[in-house]
Amino acid sequence: MYQINISPDKKFCDISPALYGIFFEDINRAGDGGLYAEMLINRAFDDGVIPEDCTYNADSKTITSATGWVSSFNCAETEGIYGWTASGGAHMALTDKDTLNNARKRALKIRFNGGMIVNCGFEGISVKAGCKYRFYMFAKSEKCAQISVSLMSEYGEVYAQQLLTVEGDYAKYECMLESMSDNNKAVLSLSSLSTDLVTIGFSSLFPTDTFMKRENGLRRDLAEKLIALKPAFLRFPGGCIVEGFSKETAHRFEDTIGAVWERRPHWLLWGYNTTNGLGYHEFLQFCEDAGIDAMYVFNCGMTCQARCPDYFDDELVEEMYNDAVHAILYATAPADTEWGAKRALNGHVEPFRCLKYLEIGNENYGEEYNRRYKYFYDKLKSEFPQYTYIATDHTEKNGLLTEMVDDHFYSDPIFFATNNGMYNSLGQNDVQIYVGEYAATIGCKRGNLYAALGEAAFLTGVERNQSKVKMTSYAPLFNNSAYTAWEPDLIVFNNHASYSIPSYYMLKMFAENRGSYVCMHNVITDYDKRYEHGVFRYTFNGEAIIAGSTDENSRSFSADVDIINGRLTVSFWSTCAEGEDQNHYDFVCEDGKCTVIHYNGWSRETICEGHCDLVGSFAKVEIDTNGDEFEIRINGSQIHKATLKAVPHISAVCTVDEATNELVIKIINITERDITVKIISDIPMTDKALITTLTAESMQAGNSFDTPKAVAPVANEVQLEDGKINIGARSVNVVRIALR
Ligand code: AHR
């Protein structure tokens, strides 16, 4: 049976105006060549510089941090000058001497000799006939050198050309290039007859048609896609890039303001360098332009704990603390103060009024975090009480003053659908929640309808609990399709086009249909079992053990283990090869504590907790599984028996829109068949509904550059028969029904 009983005039809770926001992180080259409209790759020539305190391993093209974290490094200087090539007799080389300023680690020395150097952009430079592009470079040459700056095809057909005369010490040379042709694979070339040494310290090519026509601005189509989501806030700059994997790769606000050529670069832990052109000022400017609030995330004195962490000493923690304070002052202090003056100098005399949220670290936890969190929170709150501070862990459970906690979930769609009641038991006096990162990832890498269904089902629960869950943001936001490090991402782009995955359209539907308050309602639905399957694996004190047995169908496990003297982990219903973290359940037995934890993607849910007083060191451990049930016995005694949470066929939430006097009901059908839902309202409804639906022929359906709107919402007016409405298979719906 499927029914929604609604009492429109009984308020369940207010809506949280900040519920739907966006989360920007420079991952998948989301910044330079993406949202940040720069068209030249390696514009400052320092992309190939090994981050401080890291060693380069040429064989594997990786770097190793001082704490032992290994990550890819595909652009080492030993391999060439990333993004730049020389031809026709031109010679170029990098130098660390004579750079433009202290922030610049390299300059490019060139002898043109009648040849040229070329920058290939981000998989090509996309130019359009009649459009203008602003080029500038800082260059020097002892003797006068005339340099032709051209936009051209990779075969040398010139679309735009200007002449710059370089002479003397470093100076800025700029020109406007208007393309005569369309080409998404164009390049920028610099050529000259000069045989003398020319040095370039920094270069840049920008379209003039940026978002709001701002110089050093944002790519218009991508910024507009963000605004179309009607976000309440923007979180920046991350994500793990805030933490970094070494002291130098940790984010610092002070590197991200001022003239872009004077900003120190930042090696991002997603495997590339940024010149920080899309910095703190630009984010605040975008928030102001878009009329949304800003959430700034800063490093709290430690690197990423998933990447061989480095816990900074007190002196460096203090430096990070001051960096956070300066960021706040830069945004908000009057122009006649030190940091306000810097902002004014950068073009914004009045304080930015959009800064509202401050997050202390990212995905940090444990003792080291608690100490730093307390230090930052106590001091910042007393100095700047007006902000909402967000912790990255449940610090309130350790007795620390906590206003809001950032929860993250990357799992499969069923995890989301079955957990739509996750926040039901939160009390009004409990800590507030910001679901700062979430996405259905397992089985949904390209972004598909199935993911959107799971996430939407989860969000119905979030909406019901928005008196406690105040904010959410899907992550990550962007993916340059030529540089994928993480999937799925809400918006996929190349150098000239973009499309949005189904989750984007789902979020747009949700954000556009908030209503004025959540009214009392209850949802009656049937359920499916969550059927699990997979193999058993077990380890004792970290070592894999092969003794023991599982039955032919992999449904039973038994082994004799010395469980008193160590930690036993039996993974069951494990769907992946060892080492991968997709979907499995772990029975962990240590010091008499027996726990079952469900690992699903990056999410971790405790299913059972118990205790077992063992007699004798060797014990028989048995696990029986059957679809959605498991039983665990030790020496024949039942330790745990559990049935997995079932999957609701429909999930729904109802608000009332006071402006239009309508019910706004979000209904998600995650099954493969149409479902008739009966809507019963205490206040009579009209018999017509406007239903906006996101659906497709298959759960796996998604969008692409060729079919960007294959899965996109469609609105229809429908007739209600006795309050009944057909909710199609595999669909996210927003139903608006006028009250009489
Ligand atoms: O969103 C991608 C990454 O996921 C973020 O950088 C990090 O916070 C999380 O682990």
192 Cβ neighbours under 8 A, 6+ residues apart: 112, 114, 116, 145, 146, 147, 148, 198
Instruction: Give the model's pLDDT for residue 549.
Output: 67
Residue with the smallest CA separation from ligand 1 atom 2 is 476
| Residue 708, both tokens | 């960007």
Instruction: Say yes or no to pLDDT of 510 above 80.
Output: yes
**276-309 CB burial, b ≥16 within 10 A, e <16:** bbbbbbbbbbbbbbbebbbbbbbbbbbbbbebbb
Which atom of ligand 1 is the closest one to the Cα of 436?
A: 8
Phi, psi torsion values for 367, nearest 5 degrees: -55, -45
Going from the Cα of 436 to the center of ligand 1, the distance in angstroms, rounded, reads 10
- Residue 426: is it exposed, middle or buried by C-beta count within 10 angstroms (0-12/13-18/19+)? middle
Q: How many A from CA of 299 to the centre of ligand 1?
A: 14
**Cα 147 from Cα 141, distance rounded (Å):** 11
Task: Look at residue 94 in the predicted model and tell me its pLDDT.
Answer: 98
Mean pLDDT, range 250-265, rounded to an integer: 98
Cα 413 to ligand 1 centroid, rounded to whole Å = 18
Contacts of 509 (CB under 8 A, 6+ apart): 666, 692, 694, 713, 732, 734
Neighbour count for residue 544 (Cβ, 10 Å): 10
- Closest by CA position to 177, among listed 200, 149, 154: 149
Is the confidence at residue 534, as pLDDT, over 90? no
Q: How far apart are the CA of 239 and the centre of ligand 1, in A? A: 5
Burial class (CB in 10 A: 0-12, 13-18, 19+), 534: middle
Indicate the Cα dihedral angle 370, 235, 456, 575, nearest 10°. -60
d(CA 363, CA 393): 7
User: pLDDT tens for residues 153-173?
Assistant: 999 999 999 999 999 999 999
Residues in contact with ligand 1 by the CB-under-6-Å rule are: 25, 27, 238-240, 362-363, 437, 475-476, 486
What separation in Å is there between the alpha carbon of 102 and the centre of ligand 1? 31
Confidence of residue 463 (pLDDT cuts 50, 70, 90): very high
pLDDT for the residue numbered 238: 95
d(CA 287, CA 211): 12
Question: Taking residues 299-309, what's their average pLDDT?
Answer: 97
pLDDT band at 552 (very low <50, low <70, confident <90, very high): low
**The ligand 1 atom nearest the CA atom of 270:** 6
With a cut of 80, say whether residue 547 has pLDDT above it.
no
- Determine the pLDDT at residue 426: 94
DSSP one-letter string for 214-228: -TT-BBHHHHHHHHH
Strand 478-480 vs strand 491-493: parallel, antiparallel, or unpaired? Answer: parallel
Determine the distance separating the centroid of ligand 1 and the alpha carbon of 619, expressed in angstroms.
41
Average pLDDT, the chain: 95
Q: What is the pLDDT of residues 272-295, one digit of tens each?
A: 999 999 999 999 999 999 999 999
What spacing in Å lies between the alpha carbon of 321 and ligand 1's midpoint? 22
Model pLDDT, residue 546: 59
* Residue from 26, 29, 240, 604 to probe ligand 1 pocket by mutation (most atoms less than 8 Å from CB): 240
Ligand 1 atom nearest the C-alpha of 476 is 1
Residue 615: its pLDDT value, please?
66
The residue contributing the CA closest to ligand 1 atom 8 is: 239
State yes or no: pLDDT of 485 exceeds 80.
Answer: yes
Distance 318 CA to ligand 1 centre (A): 25
Give, for ligand 1, the residue of 25, 268, 360, 365 to mutate: max count of ligand atoms closer than 8 Å to Cβ. 25
Among the atoms of ligand 1, which is closest to the Cα of residue 408?
Answer: 9
Ligand 1 atom, smallest distance to 238 CA:
6
Query: Which residues, 6 or more positions from 219, have their beta carbon under 8 angstroms from its beta carbon?
Result: 34, 35, 36, 37, 207, 210, 211, 493
Q: Which two tokens stand for residue 398?
A: 């350790």
Q: How far is the CA of 27 from the centre of ligand 1 (A)?
A: 9
Taking the model in full, what pTM does it have? 0.96
Rounded-to-integer distance, Cα 417 and Cα 419, Å = 5
User: Would you say residue 308 has pLDDT above 60?
Assistant: yes
Please enumerate in sequence order all residues whose Cβ is within 8 A of that of 630, keeping only pairs 6 or more positions apart, or say none.
572, 573, 585, 596, 623, 624, 640, 641, 642
Whole-number CA gyration radius for the chain: 28
Lowest mean pLDDT among 101-115, 376-390, 545-559: 545-559
User: How many angstroms separate the alpha carbon of residue 508 from the centre of ligand 1?
Assistant: 22
Q: What percent of the chain has pLDDT over 90?
A: 89
Residues in contact with 732: Cβ distance below 8 Å, sequence separation at least 6, in sequence order: 452, 453, 456, 506, 509, 666, 668, 693, 694, 695
More confident residue, 549 or 526: 526
Name the nearest CA neighbour of 195 among 279, 274, 92, 111: 111
**Which atom of ligand 1 lies at the shortest distance from residue 475's CA?**
1
pLDDT, residue 719, reads 97
Q: How far is the CA of 476 from the centre of ligand 1 (A)?
A: 7
Alpha carbon nearest to ligand 1 atom 4, residue: 239
Using most ligand atoms within 8 A of CB, pick from 410, 438, 477, 581 the residue to mutate for ligand 1: 410
- Whether the per-residue pLDDT at 562 is higher than 90: the answer is no
Q: Which atom of ligand 1 has the smallest separation from the CA of 363?
A: 8
Q: How far is the CA of 120 from the centre of ligand 1 (A)?
A: 29
Stretch 219-245: mean pLDDT: 98
pLDDT tens-place string over residues 360-399: 999 999 999 999 999 999 999 999 999 999 999 999 999 9
Q: What pLDDT sits at residue 62?
A: 97
CB 709: neighbour CB atoms within 10 A? 11
- DSSP state letter for 369: H
**If we measure between CA atoms, which residue out of 273, 675, 734, 129 comes closest to residue 459?**
734
| Sheet with 55-57, edge to edge strand ranges | 55-57, 62-64, 70-72
Q: Which of 24, 25, 32, 23 is nearest to 273 (CA)?
A: 32
Supply the pLDDT for residue 86. Answer: 98
- What spacing in Å lies between the alpha carbon of 419 and ligand 1's midpoint? 21
Which contiguous run of DSSP H or E holds residue 57?
strand 55-57
Q: What is the pLDDT of residue 356?
A: 98
Q: Quick one: what percent of the chain has pLDDT higher than 70?
A: 98
Minimum CA distance residue for ligand 1 atom 9: 239
Report which protein residue has its CA nearest ligand 1's atom 7.
Answer: 239
Cα distance between the two ends of the chain: 26
Smallest CA separation from ligand 1 atom 6, residue:
239
pLDDT in tens, 425-461: 999 889 999 999 999 999 898 999 999 999 999 999 9
Return the pLDDT at 606.
94
Rounded distance from Cα 521 to ligand 1 centre (Å): 35
Helix and strand counts by DSSP (H, E) for the chain? 9, 47
Band of pLDDT at residue 611, cut at 50, 70 and 90 = confident
* Encoded amino acid at 214, one letter: R
Ligand 1 nearest atom to the CA of residue 240, by list position = 6
Distance CA 268, CA 421 (A): 36
